[in-house]
Every structure is written in structure tokens, then in C-alpha cells.
Structure 1
Amino acid sequence: CSFLIYHLISNLVISVGEVTLGEGNRNKLQKTQREQEKAKVTQAACALLNSGGGVIRLEMANEDEHPVELGLDLEESLRELIQSLDLHAFFETKQQGRCYYIFVKSWSSDLFPEDRSVKPRICSLGTSLYRRSGTSVRLMDSREAFNFLKTKKRSPKILGKQPSSRVLKVRCQNPHNLDPAHRIFQKDQLEYGERLPFPESQFVEFKQFSTKHILQRVKDIIPEYVPAFANTEGGYLFIGVDDKSKKVLGCAKENVDRNSLREKIEKAIYELPCVHFCQSQCRINFEVRTLDVLAGGELYGYACVIRVKPFCCAVFSEAPSSWMVKDKHVRSLTTEEWVDMMMDTDPDFESQLSLSSGPPLSRPVYTKKGLEHKEDLQQRLFPVPPGHLQYTPESLWKELSSEHEGLEELINEQMRPFSQGILIFSRSWAVDLNLQEQQGVICDALLIAQNSSPILYSVLREQDQKLVNMGGYTGKLCVMTKVLRLSPESHAEPLAGSGSPIDYPTSYDLEDTQQMEALLQSLVIVLLSFRSFLSDQLGCEVLNLLTAQQYEIFSKNLCKNRELFVHGLPGSGKTIMAMKIMEKIRNTFHCEANKILYVCENQPLRNFISNKRICQAVTRKTFMKNNFKEIQHIIIDEAQNFRTEDGDWYEKAKSITQREKGHPGILWIFLDYFQTSHLVDNGLPPFSVQYPREELTRVVRNADPIANYLQKVMQEIIKNPPFNIPPGSLEMLREAQWAQGVPGNFEIMERSTREQIVTYVAKTCKLLFEKGYSPKDIAVLVSTMDYVEPYKHKLLKAMRKKRVVQVSDACDMLDDHIVLDSVRRFSGLERNIVFGIYPRTAESAILYNILVCLSSRAKQQLYILWHDDC
């Protein structure tokens, strides 16, 4: 149960050992000890703020028996972490005996009163980013750093490919001497006591060291001044010049070696962390000159000048002071990790969980326009009833009650103290959270009730942090655990580890319906989210939400639904469901990926699924050739386009999944008769015996103009279906629901020759790229493989004229190229923009089916180009 709780809610507890508490007690400490204790507490607090919240446990080093406060220095360090926001909004304290607890709520920049665009996503004690401000060096705070990095990221091309090569100009009062600093920089020697003809400025800094430890002092100042110049407009750092008198005093030759000084400076600069947003990976552009300082014609010592040019992106003095919990240990973030988290931004979609207001570890979650939002899904799946406690899902509760004698009495007894809320049952919350099922668990039940912290009950047979970091819940939250054993006497027996050893403040209780619904909406994100295909295009993880219809099918008890036919309309998410079910099979039955087989008709879809590493993936032809002795579970996708030319694939799949007597495997078959692309036998059993059967009628993929065209074409199929499609299978269109409000483009036009077609495609692609689209967004689909090669040569030629990118087939969808392939081979895949090239003489019996296949592949823009078969 503790394993499950860890993944459900952030109940992280960090023990930092002994700490002296109380203002008077802390004032008596030596400075070193006080700073060490403060560092332990602030590092733990920073890590928890950035990791979903939790608890810091301190052992009181002082002997006070009465309650004490933290101490002003500790409070000030915590306030510094949260950018001087209300301390109580993120931290609460409680003393229990000799233990002192600091309850830490997850960081959320949503509490900033100003515009979200200036809110840093993570907490830091220091950014390690410096900039010049007049004659000073300024350490940026988190908000300044966020704006600085955002500006650099938005326009890296200005300086991106090479550092600026312009000569630095130092503004001075003499208009006839525009760059005196550069003139001094080019010299070989200076006179001791010589006064330089310009003052310190934004572009010039003077430093003079009288100590013998010159090399160490130089090493100490490099990480501040060089990044400050590089992050601003560049400048000169003069070492050996007094900043007040502007006199050259140099470093005495007895105290410094010329070569050692240069090597020390260069080594210190090369060690500075740099982060790039541009394509260039260039290093800091600087030059070091060591000048002789003469006194009376004799060598007295040396002065040194470092010229720093503006850097294209960002230079740090060291890694930022920021921490996170990973693998139950507090560890510091690297510079790259810190920048990645600080600069995470939302993709431009209808957001369900925004990075700008979510906890640091949350990922962006969105739905297509026109689909249910998390609020709608929560009201449909987990409504909070007024004035009473509701058990849900009702059907599962009835099943569990009938299967396990005494369970109803046990649960009702536990619920007696609660008057309003919702008790959510699951056969395994572990599987629902994409974890392996826990052995010996009858069921889990999560209680969300008013005036109580959430409680997770695990009911055993006789003998994470996801709600915050994934669900985006920003309130104070702990989930209490209660492990119950259903005994023959039907009473609850709390087991070891049940409950929480820490007495949380009452502010962690859910006060009203609004707080309960906010938490349940985070639960919706946790349970219904899946990794979007868009993640592969953007290079960062983005989450989509399942529709309520998809979630209801996904939630089925696999042990009671070992075989299932899932009929889905085009764009209803059948392939997504197939992948989610394979993940659930793996967690429910504790099996490895090599025990699960995914079978489809075409190589491109096989390759796409194989890259997910959740199963073995093969085409139907390969499936019919091999034995697959280790396979226990089979998922069939796009089954309407299977064939029987190599044998009866359906009977083979059944025999494999049923060969272990008494323990049959899973056989789920996904299909869509509307997308049938041939006229031969598909090997499916008759439609009348395809039971049990579920239907996916919520269409989520296509923009409005494309969806409207699809509906018209599908009506034509219903009017005159091909002979190999059972008419009853098409009636599900009457139940179709189409997502509305998604803008897009649809065009259908005549082009008489191939040359005209490829010229139009190349020209349109060039315009799309100028608008910011990528080659990964585009697919060009032809009717059959016979047309691929003839079009490929002409298309490549036209693309070269327009200076457009590479063209290849669909076998590796993740490559940065335009796909050119047949409609049939692109089955099950999708791209934002699709060009469909189709001859007038195409097979008329399945013409509309092919048009459905073609059109449903396009998410945003669809261009259908008819031509004569020439």
C-alpha cells in the first residue's frame, strides 16, 4: 500500500537530522553551524517544493520542552525560496515531542499576483545568472532569469550561429576617442601609475589585488564578471587597475607568474556552464592579453585585460542552487535540467493542465477542441453528490459486494463517520496508475470526503505523487492510508503500516465541494491521460486525455473480458486504445513485453508501435509464418483490412491465447468497416457473432471541415456498401459524436497531369513551411503502391525547385521528412496535413471507403487532388 501511495500522492518525508530551533537558541550558535543547519533545511524545502510537496522532519537539537518557533534566519531562507510570497501559503509547522515537522506544499507559480508570463516554474536559492547593470554586476533572481532566458530562447537566431564579431564600443565623453578601452587592450605595456583615460562603465570593470594570493582572487571573480559581460553586451575586465583612481598598479612580478595567470583565467572561463537555445554550440568568445607594467623602464609586474564578447544564449557562473527529489534522494539540478524545467512552456492547444500554473514536475495536458474538459469528465465520472456519500462506479461496487461476502458491511462501517463525498472503487489502483497490480488485494477505494484528508483503503484477502506532479493539484494534500483485512468475521483489521505516523494540520483536509472537485479533476488527469503522439514531434512529453467513452472501455475488467471486438469510427482513437490496453495487460498479468503481440496489416504501423517498446509488433503475414510460442496475449489492429490468403488468422490468434487451459490470454480486436480498403475476405467472424462488442463513436481526430467531408462520404457508403461489409456494422454512424470547434482546411480540386499535381504540392508545402509547419506534419498519399515510385521522382524534382525537404515512405514516421506512401500503408497513422492524390479510374466499389481512409488520416488540413489515370 505504501508503494501505491507513493505513486498516488506526494507524501515524501525528508529527515534532515538535528537542527537547533528557536530564535534565542539559534543566536547562540556559531556562524558555521547556523549556516550548515540552514542549508540542510532549505535544500530539503527546495527539493520538496520542486517535487510535489511533502514533509521535512527535524530532530530538535535544543532541550526546550515547550513549543518553539523555527527561528528568523530559517524563516527568511524559506521566504527567499518562494520569492517573498506568503510563507504560510507553502509552509506549515508542527511540533510533536522531540520531532518538528515542516509541511511543504508543492510549488505553483499560479500564486504570483502578476502576469503568468513572468512566473518561474521552479524554486531556487540562486540562479547563478549574472548581468551588467551600469558599473555593477547583478545576480538575477528567478523572475529576472526567467525573462532573460525567455528572451534568449525566443530570438536565438539573432546571435545564434556565431558570436557577435562587432568591435565593442565604450561610450565616453570624448567623441574623438570612441573606443579607448580597445586601444589599451591592443597595447603590450603600460606605465606604473598611469591613469587610464576612461572610467568604469557597463562595458568596463577595474580590479586591483594587493594580496599575494592573486591567482585565487582572479579565479574567484571570473565566474561573476565574465558571465555578466557575456549575458549583456560584452565588455572588458581590467585586472591590475584601481577602480577609484583609474591608475595602473599591476600585479607585482614576485606575486604572480605571467603564464600561470593566463592559464588560470582561461581554465576558469572554460569551466563556466553554457546553455544554448540555438543550433550553434559555440563556447564563450573571449580573449586574454597580459600587459607588462613598467616602472622607471624596468619590469614591475603585469596587468591583464579580458575582452568578452556578447554570448548567443546564456552563461552561468555555476550550476543554479536548486534541488529535487529523485529516487527518494535529494539531489541538485544540473544547469541543463534547471533551464529545461524553468523554460517548459505549453503547446498551443486547448489546455487542461497548464505548465504556467502547474507544479514543477507536471506535464502539459490538453484535449482537442470540442471534447470534454477535465471539469466535464469529472462531473460525468466522479460527481460529488450534495448531502450524501456516493459509491462509484456503481456496477463495480455491486460486483465486488456479490463476489466477497462481508465486504459491504466492512466498507459501510468504515464510511459511517463521513456524510458527503465520493468513494471511488477499483480492482487495482496500481493498474489504474500504470503500475503493476499488487498481489492479494481484493480492491482499493479512494475516499474524497468533506472535512477529511483523502483516504486510500486497500482491502486484502485473508492472509505517488501523481495527483500533484501529474494531475496538477496545487492545494495542500496528503492521502491517509488504511489497510483492511476482510476476515471471516467481516470486520476491519488495520494492518502494520496502516495510517500516517504524522499528524497533518487541518488545512490538509478538504473543506468544501469546490476543493473536492478540484482534487477529483486532478484524478481525472491521472487516470485518463496518455502520452500524446505529439510528444515525438515536439521532443517533450505532452499528455492527452481519453474521452469518457474510451476510459469506460479501458476500465473493463480484463479477467472478465478476455476477448473483445472494439468497433471504432475513423478518428475515434482505436490505436491509442490498443496501446493503453497493452500497458494494462502488462501491469495486470505481470508479463513482459515479449508476452504481448500486436498484429496489424502494414509495416509502417508495425514500426510505429514497435518503437513504443510495449510489445512485440508484427504484420499479419509474419504472424501467419511463425509459431510465437511465448505469446500469451494478442491485440489485433485495423482488422477490417486483414486477408485470409495466408490462412485463418483469427483461429490462429484464438488458439494461441487459449492454449493455456483454465488461464486464457487476452484477445482484443480493433476494426472499422468504414475503412475497408479491399474486396476480399478479411477473415473476421460474421458480424452477428462478434461478441462481446464495444463501440467507439466519439470522433476526436479531425478538424471541422475534414469531419464534415467524412460524414458525407460515410453516408455514401451506407447507401451502397461493398458486398464484403455487413450492413449492420455501419449503423454505429447514427451514434457518432463529432468534436466541434477545431479549425482547419479542406480543399478538393482537379489537376489533369502529374506535373500539375506535384507542382501544386511543392508550392503549397513551401508556403506551409514559411508559416512554421515542419516536414513531420505532412503526408502525401496516393491510391496504390503502383503510383508511389512514379510520383516520387516527379515530386522530388519539384521539391528541389522549391528548395523543400526530403521525401520518404511511412516506415519511419518519426524522421523529419514528408511521407509519400499509399493510403493503405498509411492505415492507423496520422499527420496534421495530408495531400491525397487519386485517379478518376480508381476501383469504384470501394472508392468511398478509400476516401474515408485517406481523409481520416488528416488532423488539420486535407487536400484531395483528382486526376486522370495517365
Structure 2
Amino acid sequence: MEKHSSSLVVELSYPDLVINVGKVTLGEENRRKLQKPRKDQEKERVMRAACALLNSGGGVIQMEMANKDEHPIEPSLRSSNKVDVVPFLLNLGAITLPLKMVPSRLAFAACALHCTGFNNADPAFEFFQRDNLEYGEILPFPESPSIEFKQFSTKHFQTYLENIIPVYVSAFANTEEGGYLFIGVEDKSRKVLGCAKENVNPYSLRARIEKAILKLPCVHFCQSACQINFTTKILNVFAKGKLYGFACVIRVKPFCCAVFSEEPSSWLVENQQIHKLTIDKWVDRMMDIDQDLSRLCKDFESQLSLTSGPPLSRPVFSKKGLEHKKDLQQLLFPVPSEHLQCTPEPLWKELSSQHEGLEKLIKEEMPPLSRGILIFSRSWAVDLDLQEKQGVICDALLIAQGSPPILYTVLREKDAAGQHYSMHTAFTLKQKLVNMGGYTRKLCVLAKVLSLSAEDTAESSEGPGCLLKYSESYSLADTPQMEALLQSLVIVLLGFRSFLSDKVGCEVLNLLTAQQYKIFSKNLHKNRELFIHGLPGSGKTIIAMKIMEKISKVFGCPTKEILYICENQPLRNFLSSKNVCQAVTRKTFMNSSNFESIQHIIIDEAQNFRTEDGDWYEKAKKITHRKKDCPGILWIFMDYFQTSHLDCSGLPPLSAQFPKEELTKVVRNADLIANYLMKAMKEVREKPPPNIPHESLKMLHEAEWTHSVRGTLQVKKDLTLRQMMTYVADTCKSLFEMGYSPNDVAVLVSTTKEVDRYKHELLKAMRKKRVVQLCDACDMSGNHMVLDSVRRFSGLERSIVFGIHPKSAESAILDNILVCLASRAKQQLYILWHGDY
């Protein structure tokens, strides 16, 4: 993407994208009187601004009328001289106002890709074999979508070629069978006229044609690097037996991907700058529609399709059986039938009790007889991944019938920074509702600052957003419109980057469950220490990652001040790759003193920690409590059902694990795997190992299981070592032929020692089937199968898991190991038993 220097100015003083295009002559009659250079310049500025806004979430074009007519433009534009550009897409051709919005995937200001279809017959092929033509000869076939006749232009010959060749050659190259461009033939009569030999040099003509074709922009979606396949023939034109001149035929064969007549003129706004998209970026975005994720996403259902979404939106999926975005909206942000509702109610009650005058101030600001929802947050900025601001009591987003969305920011005392905070937060919310949430109607979010300070006399201050004077069409008309906007808000607040993104090569979003969101949305200032007990597959690691991102925004700290601790190296490597924290294993944490910069600690898979290197919990607490008056965050995630050892874990007694939250909704595993997992967990609950507190296992009674993905579960018994390895290799070969990838598969054994024992036999069986190589779990990003122990794979997942029965595990934790094994598989689980077990 290239930055383009122009006179366009992106305004930064509104909660919206506003581009100032300067002086523009408005009105069709007035524009006819303009000289061409000025007319073209004005048109280009407006088209570029509109294109950039359409591709960037919508916004406003601001202009100054160059003419002084009393009524130069449409009545809807007279009051403010601004054009609202909503987040739809169009092909812009003229400057007539108001602009009509036509849905498409990407806006561009000059047509670039020419495609056509034509008859299967090729009547020009035989003619193409000739070397000579007769002046006045009538060709025996007409023009068609695959055949074009053009006469020579004796004036400005080179410019003429440069104009027609890109258009027709790109058109023919982008069809399934190609086409012919005849130059020197009159189109209506089909007469061969050619060009007099005095006016054209055949060698120069060929060179100019080839140069023009080779300059055409081409984009490959495949691995090929081939160029346009064309043949140029210069034909002699005779008149009464003498050479009169020359004609030309260009035969163009189909191109494997896409040929353009010129670079697309497409623009977007990024970091307050207007950028022109390069051809590769333009094609990437044009092609970035809903991909074929049917196999990779068959466990999921679409929540947001790119087909009808704005150009920057991403595909959003939720696991089948979980709440749909509409269900989440009804659960979290229901629209009342007759009144205005404040939500979440516990937060509203807490805020109004803590801050005298807040309830009165809010009630005074609400529109009379309004119906809708007022959504409170201690910081909408943090909710939108922005930095928290000191002095902000709370933010409240009004979604009400008959009103555009309004973001209220309540300050202790008014200040200029508070106004900027509110404006920037409202702007970010508007952009995310469109570009992440996929909202496609007209949208603005007005910013309004309130103050509880006695000196400010509880007055409100309208932000710049109100000065834009949006039309009534930006108000929410009814319940369906409010719910549509709130469903986009659900995606903004609950969306997170799916682990599937790396696999499919584009960003894909998943949604948190309501239970996960409840934990994620906790006030970190009041929940400095928290114990989170989560059942297998309930999303503990996802929440851990999200919380670390939130910590950075709430406390304004860099990632080097946030420490993630887990037991095993593979999970540590996985988190390190996310660049949200420092990540170490427990052993490294205990054997190092280089944590002076650490303020906050997140501990994952804590049930598998041990005290062999010292009291890790005490050390973590000391680090996060360095500042006695303002301790850091210490959140500990665990699942006693997946305890894989009999030693002391070092966790505090269950009674001391307070405050505590539970994740009881299992979201990872297909139905058959989940049923198997539940049986194994019941065995653990009935016969728990001695190092697990019995009370901790009662949460199994609260377990919720999603039911909609059947999946695969196979248990094979009485197998020899060779039979097990052959079974794995055969099954993998079949899966790969069905379209699965090596990075979908993990083979898990009981202990690290057993990895070497099985590796040799498995590699031998795989080579016979010509199946791919193996790697351990330390590298989860490569396109290879994983062979590792159940313990080292803790916290990770694969679609397909082969488990070699853990007969070498201690009998007291055998069921725990089976829980660990089964919970790693999302779609298919194969458990193989030794014959001598």
C-alpha cells in the first residue's frame, strides 16, 4: 500500500472519519462551465475521498462550495456542505450528488478488470492462419464477445494503440477461451481497410503492440509466474495485386488468473492517512471473501459472512451448539419493550451508590420517553482495546429508539483530555461496529461528556460529533435496527482471533461464550487476584490470553511487565508466539531472579505445577505485591480433573482459593469425544487421586456440553506395537487424502520417555505409506504431525488425536491422564490399547 500525497485532509476532531476535499463546484450546470483540468481535479478529489471512506468503514466528505449559487445542490446537502458516506461499497463514475451507494466488495474509482464470455466456436482461427488480405474484403464473421474489429487511426497512432490494447487484451485474457483483436477492419461493414504503408512501419507496429501488452498489470492467485499468452500477426493488405498497407491481428489466449487494463484506483484511510492500494493489495481484498472453510470450520457456524459485510470485516464463527450472536445479544443486551434499561444492572447499582449525583445526572440526560438500553462500563476505551484514562468514572452507550447511538463519558472534573478521550472512544466504537462487527446501515456514534464536579454544575458538553448534524436517517428506528446494531456490538466485545486463522491464511474470529465473557469483563482494579477453575475444553487459555491483552490496556503497561507461567515448554512456546507477554515455564520461573520488571502474572494449567523447585505461589504473590498500595494482577487458571502427577501442586488449599470463578461450559470437543470425556471425569470424581481436593470435583455437576458436532471416537484394543503404528499411518493417509493436513494431527503417548520408543516404529510405518514426518509439540506452527506426551501437550489442541493407551501411568491418575488425552481432540479421537494391558 502506498501513501499518496494529495490535498485531501483527514479531520481528527470528530468521532468519525471526515475527509476535507477543499473547494468543489457543485451543481451539474455549474460543472459544465468549468475548464477541463479543474473539473477533472475536483472530480478526482471527491472520488478519491469517497472511495477511501467506503473502504474504511464509512464517514463524511467535507467540502467548501466554490460557486456562490443560492441552490447549487440537493436540499439534503445545503445545510452542512457534507456528504455522508455510509459503509457500503460502489464503483464511482461521476460526481453527481447525492452519491448512490451500490453494495460490492471493494470500492474503486476506475474500472480495472474486464471480463467477458463468448461463443464456443472459433470462426476467426482459420482466418488467423492467413498472411495476406485484400483491400475491401469482407470478413466472413461478425464481431462477438471474442472478436473485436478496430480501424487504424492515422492521427495520434501510438496513443490510439495504448488506449485500445489494454481494454481488449485484458478482456480476452480474463475469459475462458481468449479472443481476437483485429486492427484495420471497419466494425460495421467488416471491410478490411488496413493502414497505408506510408503511414505505418510493420516492425514498429509489432514492437509497440508487444510493449503495450507486456505493460499490463497481472496478478497470480496460483503458483505460476507466466505472462500473458498472445500472438501478433502483421498481415499484408493488397489492392489490385499491389501492396497497399498492413493490418494486424492479436490473438489472446486465456490467462490463468487475472489481467488488468490499468492499476486499480482504489483508496483507504489508515493511520489518518489516505493510501492507494497496490494492485496486489486490491486483489487480495477483492478475493478475501468467504473462503471454503467447510472442512476446517465444519464444527462452527457462521456469525458474520463477508459476502454482505464491509470490506474490512472478517469472517466470524461460533462453535455449533453455542450461543449464536443473536442469543448472546438477547442474553447480554436485551432491548426492553417499553422503557430504557440500564445494564449490566450490578455495575449500574455499584456506580450510582459510589458516586453521588450520578443517577440524577444520567436521568436528566436521557431522551424523554426513550426506549432502549444504556450499557455501562467502567471504561469503554478498555473494552475497545484502547488505553484507560484516569479521571473517568464510567462510560455509557445509549442505544435507543429515535436517537443515534450516543457515548456518554462521565468525568470527575471536566478537562480537554476528557473530551478527546470521549471523541476517540466514540470514533473507535463506530469503526469497530462496522469493520469488525459487520454493521452495514448508516451509523454514527455521538460523543457527550458529563461531569459530576460541583464547579462544573453537573453540566454536559456535546462533543464534536454532535456538530456534524447527522440526519434523522442515522437514528435507530425500531427494535430490529437496535438489535442488529447490538449484535454487531456482541462481535466487537466477544470476538477474538481464532487459532484457525493461521491454518486458513486469513484472520478468522470466534466468539466468547457468555460465561467466558463474564470472567473477561471483570473489573481488574477490584479483582487483582482470582482463581479460575475450568473444566477441560472450557477455554481457559483463551481467557488467559485475552486477560493479558486487557491488563496492558487497563494499566498502560508493556508486554514485558506481564508474565505468563505454565508447566510445559510447548504451551510456553505457543503463548510466546502471540506477543502478549513474557512466557516461561514454572521451572524457569523458580530458577531465575530476573523478574524485576514484572508487575502482573497469569498462571495456566496450575494443577500440574509442583513444589520440587520451591514455593512458586509464594514467589508469584511477592512479585505482584511489590506495590503494597497497588498490587498487580495474579490470576491462576486450573483444572483438577487434568492433574497428571501425584505430587504436591503448591496451590493454596481450596478454601483459600478466593475469589473464585468457574468455567463449566465445555466448548472444544465433538459430541462423541465429550461423552467419553464426561465418563472419564466421573471416574476421577469417584476415585480421585490423593493430591486433589475432593470438593473441587463437584463442579462436574454444573457441566454444560454442546451438542451438534458428532465427530469420531474409536477405541482399538489388543494391538501390538506394530499394529498400532500401522493403524496410525493408514488412518493418517486416508485423512490426508480427504483433505486434512498434517498439522491437524497429534499422536500422544503417556510419558516423554515413551516418545523415543514409539517414534522409530511410527516413522517406519509412515514411510511405507509415504506419510509426512513428525515433530514434537514445541513447534505447533509447522505443517507436520505432532508426536509427544500427553503431559507436554497440556493446554494445546488438535482436530485429530491418536492416543497410545497410557498403561505406564500411575494407576491412581490413569483416569486423569485419559481426561487429558481426550480433551485435546476437537473432532476425532482414536485410543489404541496395548494387547498386554
- TM-score, normalising length: structure 1: 0.85
1:756 alignment partner, SS class: helix
Render the CA deviation track for 1:443-464: whole Å, top value 9, x for unaligned.
1111112211111111122252
Shift, 1:482, TM fit: 0.6
2:724 aligned residue (731, 744, 757): 757
Q: 1:122 to 1:306 in 2, by over 3 A?
A: same
Q: 1:829 to 1:291 in 2, by over 3 A?
A: same
Match of 1:345 in 2: 290
Task: Give the whole-Å Cα distance in 2 for the aligned partners of 1:761 and 1:442.
Answer: 59
Match of 2:325 in 1: 374
Q: Does 1:472 align with 2:438?
A: yes
Contact map agreement 2:117 2:146 (CA 8 A) in 1: no
Q: How does 1:229-240 map to 2 (within 5 A)?
A: 229-232=172-175, 233-240=177-184
Shift, 1:600, TM fit: 1.0
Match of 1:439 in 2: 390
Q: 1:23 to 1:194 in 2, by over 3 A?
A: closer
Contact map agreement 1:251 1:303 (CA 8 A) in 2: no
One-letter amino acid of the structure 2 residue matched with residue 226 of structure 1: V
Higher mean C-alpha displacement, 527-536 vs 206-215: 206-215
Shift, 1:195, TM fit: 4.7
Contact map agreement 1:18 1:59 (CA 8 A) in 2: yes
Contact map agreement 1:50 1:323 (CA 8 A) in 2: yes
Q: Does 1:269 align with 2:252?
A: no
Match of 1:60 in 2: 65
Render the CA deviation track for 1:604-645: whole Å, top value 9, x for unaligned.
111111111111111112212222111111111111111222
One-letter amino acid of the structure 2 residue matched with residue 545 of structure 1: L
One-letter amino acid of the structure 1 residue matched with residue 78 of structure 2: Q
Match of 1:247 in 2: 192
1:325 aligned residue (258, 269, 273): 269
Shift, 1:431, TM fit: 0.6
Render the CA deviation track for 1:267-307: whole Å, top value 9, x for unaligned.
33233222333232322223445567788999876655433
Task: Give the whole-Å Cα distance in 2 for the aligned partners of 1:43 and 1:108.
Answer: 13
Note the residue ranges of structure 1 that are not aligned, 5 or more in a row.
1-5, 71-91, 110-117, 136-167, 173-178
Q: How does 1:643-658 map to 2 (within 5 A)?
A: 643-658=610-625
One-letter amino acid of the structure 2 residue matched with residue 407 of structure 1: L
Match of 2:278 in 1: 334
Shift, 1:684, TM fit: 1.2
Match of 1:37 in 2: 42
Contact map agreement 1:392 1:422 (CA 8 A) in 2: yes
1:614 alignment partner, SS class: coil
Task: Give the whole-Å Cα distance in 1 for the aligned partners of 2:465 and 2:651.
Answer: 52
Match of 2:467 in 1: 501
Q: Does 1:410 align with 2:361?
A: yes
1:100 aligned residue (75, 81, 88): 81
Match of 1:215 in 2: 158
Contact map agreement 1:231 1:313 (CA 8 A) in 2: yes
1:500 alignment partner, SS class: helix
Task: Give the whole-Å Cα distance in 2 for the aligned partners of 1:845 and 1:50.
Answer: 60
2:679 aligned residue (709, 712, 717): 712
Q: 1:288 to 1:714 in 2, by over 3 A?
A: same
Shift, 1:662, TM fit: 1.9
Contact map agreement 1:239 1:250 (CA 8 A) in 2: no
Q: How does 1:615-654 map to 2 (within 5 A)?
A: 615-627=581-593, 628-654=595-621
1:425 aligned residue (370, 376, 379): 376
2:412 aligned residue (437, 458, 461): 461
Shift, 1:417, TM fit: 2.9
Q: 1:254 to 1:197 in 2, by over 3 A?
A: closer
1:770 aligned residue (737, 745, 748): 737
Q: How does 1:589-600 map to 2 (within 5 A)?
A: 589-600=555-566
Task: Give the whole-Å Cα distance in 1 for the aligned partners of 2:116 and 2:317.
Answer: 40
Render the CA deviation track for 1:474-516: whole Å, top value 9, x for unaligned.
2222111111222135733334845521211112111222222
Indicate the percent of aligned positions where both proteins have the same amino acid: 65
Task: Give the whole-Å Cα distance in 2 for the aligned partners of 1:283 and 1:549.
Answer: 54
Task: Give the whole-Å Cα distance in 2 for the aligned partners of 1:644 and 1:268.
Answer: 74
Q: 1:131 to 1:416 in 2, by over 3 A?
A: closer
Q: Does 1:556 align with 2:537?
A: no
1:635 alignment partner, SS class: strand
Task: Give the whole-Å Cα distance in 1 for the aligned partners of 2:828 and 2:555.
Answer: 41
Match of 1:786 in 2: 753
Task: Give the whole-Å Cα distance in 1 for the aligned partners of 2:352 and 2:46.
Answer: 48
Shift, 1:205, TM fit: 4.0
Q: How does 1:595-610 map to 2 (within 5 A)?
A: 595-610=561-576
Higher mean C-alpha displacement, 710-719 vs 656-665: 656-665
Q: 1:739 to 1:309 in 2, by over 3 A?
A: same
Contact map agreement 1:714 1:848 (CA 8 A) in 2: yes
Shift, 1:27, TM fit: 4.2
Q: 1:302 to 1:710 in 2, by over 3 A?
A: same
Task: Give the whole-Å Cα distance in 2 for the aligned partners of 1:387 and 1:201.
Answer: 63
1:183 aligned residue (129, 133, 137): 129
Shift, 1:133, TM fit: 4.8
Match of 2:256 in 1: 312
Note the residue ranges of structure 2 that are not aligned, 5 or more in a row.
1-10, 91-101, 295-299, 416-427
Shift, 1:730, TM fit: 0.6
Match of 1:576 in 2: 542
Contact map agreement 2:447 2:462 (CA 8 A) in 1: no
1:832 alignment partner, SS class: strand
2:740 alignment partner, SS class: coil
One-letter amino acid of the structure 2 residue matched with residue 183 of structure 1: Q
Contact map agreement 1:253 1:302 (CA 8 A) in 2: no
Render the CA deviation track for 1:67-112: whole Å, top value 9, x for unaligned.
4534xxxxxxxxxxxxxxxxxxxxx93322xx42222322179xxx
Match of 1:725 in 2: 692
1:171 aligned residue (114, 123, 135): 123
Q: Does 1:845 align with 2:812?
A: yes
Q: Does 1:69 align with 2:73?
A: yes
Q: 1:278 to 1:10 in 2, by over 3 A?
A: farther
Render the CA deviation track for 1:374-429: whole Å, top value 9, x for unaligned.
22211221222232222212222232233333323322322363532221111111
1:122 aligned residue (101, 106, 127): 106
Contact map agreement 1:642 1:683 (CA 8 A) in 2: yes
How many residues align structurally? 790
- The two structures, once aligned, show a CA RMSD in angstroms of 2.9
Higher mean C-alpha displacement, 618-627 vs 229-238: 229-238
Match of 1:131 in 2: 115
Higher mean C-alpha displacement, 814-823 vs 804-813: 804-813
Contact map agreement 1:839 1:868 (CA 8 A) in 2: no
Shift, 1:440, TM fit: 2.6
Task: Give the whole-Å Cα distance in 2 for the aligned partners of 1:236 and 1:10.
Answer: 53
Task: Give the whole-Å Cα distance in 2 for the aligned partners of 1:438 and 1:760.
Answer: 59
Match of 2:308 in 1: 357
Match of 1:826 in 2: 793
Shift, 1:546, TM fit: 0.8
Task: Give the whole-Å Cα distance in 2 for the aligned partners of 1:280 and 1:206.
Answer: 32
Higher mean C-alpha displacement, 335-344 vs 565-574: 335-344
Match of 1:89 in 2: none
1:558 alignment partner, SS class: coil
Q: Does 1:613 align with 2:573?
A: no
Q: Does 1:666 align with 2:611?
A: no
Task: Give the whole-Å Cα distance in 2 for the aligned partners of 1:417 and 1:490.
Answer: 24
Shift, 1:317, TM fit: 1.2
Q: 1:803 to 1:203 in 2, by over 3 A?
A: farther
2:364 alignment partner, SS class: helix
2:362 alignment partner, SS class: helix
